[in-house]
């Protein structure tokens, strides 16, 4: 689906419905720079209820077996381990500060790597995953980085493995407060529900979808997708 160059909105979507996402990248980076600090990031997540719905979604819709290998892309400070059962866990994130905090809090429960989907060590250790998590990560990335993560998920999942996607989206029934906050979000690449679904469907033949709204203090619309059956490349 073609994307509107400055807003990530499909060309056939009227601007009035979805609004645009025009906050310039440099000002967005400057405004949100303090969130690179793990303590502040954790505090803000707690205040806005960032982790609660994510945890509720995974607990309700994803069943893990005790020996499952879970890869958590963009693991941040390792918050997923608060709601995951005991599993073989590998988290990776390019933010060295976040990774340091994750190791100090949850180092006994899994392995944390500083890197992204292109890092050889990440690519090597991610192989044979039963589930690949992308929780609130992709809307922070460029389209190319998103595709790198999706390709990694596609190639590292074992047969029967699942790709778990949980991201904000613009949709026809957004809460007006959520629409405003999503346009101001730290991640500048929030897409429409249709665009996210189309993208994930390029990589996975079976996609199960859940729309959750309003979520968090900021009344977001969240799209959660479970991808199965990676397409052959």
Ligand X SMILES: C[S@@+](CC[C@H](N)C(=O)[O-])C[C@H]1O[C@@H](n2cnc3c(N)ncnc32)[C@H](O)[C@@H]1O
By CB under 6 A, residue 109 contacts ligand X = no
Nearest to 181 by CA among 32, 75, 34: 32
* Site size for ligand X (CB under 6 A): 19
Choices 70-78, 103-111, 188-196, 198-206 (CB under 6 A): range interacting with ligand X: 70-78
By CB under 6 A, residue 145 contacts ligand X = yes
Nearest to 156 by CA among 191, 184, 198, 123: 123
By CB under 6 A, residue 138 contacts ligand X = no
Name the minimum Å distance from CB 11 to ligand X: 27
Helix axes 38-48, 96-106, angle to 10 degrees: 70
In 86-211, where does DSSP find H-type helix?
Answer: 96-106, 120-125, 143-156, 176-183, 193-203
128: left (phi over 0), alpha (psi -120 to 50) or beta: left
Which member of 38, 76, 178, 230 binds ligand X (CB under 6 A)?
A: 76
Choices 100-108, 131-139, 155-163, 172-180 (CB under 6 A): range interacting with ligand X: 131-139
57: left (phi over 0), alpha (psi -120 to 50) or beta: alpha
Which member of 58, 102, 113, 141 binds ligand X (CB under 6 A)?
A: 141
By CB under 6 A, residue 106 contacts ligand X = no
By CB under 6 A, residue 116 contacts ligand X = yes
- Residues lying near ligand X in the complex (CB under 6 A) are found at 54, 73-76, 79-80, 93-95, 98, 116-117, 135-137, 140-141, 145
């Amino acid at each position: 689906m073609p994307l509107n160059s400055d807003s990530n909105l499909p060309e056939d979507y009227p601007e009035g419905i979805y609004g645009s996402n025009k906050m310039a990248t440099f000002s967005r980076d400057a405004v949100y720079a303090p969130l690179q600090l793990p303590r502040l990031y954790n505090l803000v997540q707690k205040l806005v209820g960032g982790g609660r719905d994510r945890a509720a979604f995974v607990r309700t819709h994803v069943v893990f077996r005790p020996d499952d290998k879970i890869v958590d892309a963009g693991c941040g400070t390792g918050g997923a381990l608060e709601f995951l059962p005991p599993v073989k866990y590998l988290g990776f994130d390019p933010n060295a500060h976040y990774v340091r905090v994750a190791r100090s809090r949850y180092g006994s429960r899994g392995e944390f790597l500083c890197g992204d989907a292109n890092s050889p060590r990440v690519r090597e250790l991610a192989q044979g995953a039963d589930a690949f998590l992308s929780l609130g990560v992709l809307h922070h990335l460029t389209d190319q980085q998103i595709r790198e993560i999706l390709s990694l998920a596609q190639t590292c999942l074992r047969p029967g493995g699942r790709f778990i996607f949980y991201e904000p989206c613009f949709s026809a029934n957004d809460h007006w407060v959520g629409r405003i906050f999503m346009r101001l979000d730290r991640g500048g690449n929030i897409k429409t529900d249709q665009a996210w679904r189309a993208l994930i469907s390029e990589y996975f033949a079976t996609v199960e979808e859940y729309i959750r709204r309003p979520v968090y203090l900021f009344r977001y619309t969240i799209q959660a997708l479970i991808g199965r059956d990676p397409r052959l490349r």
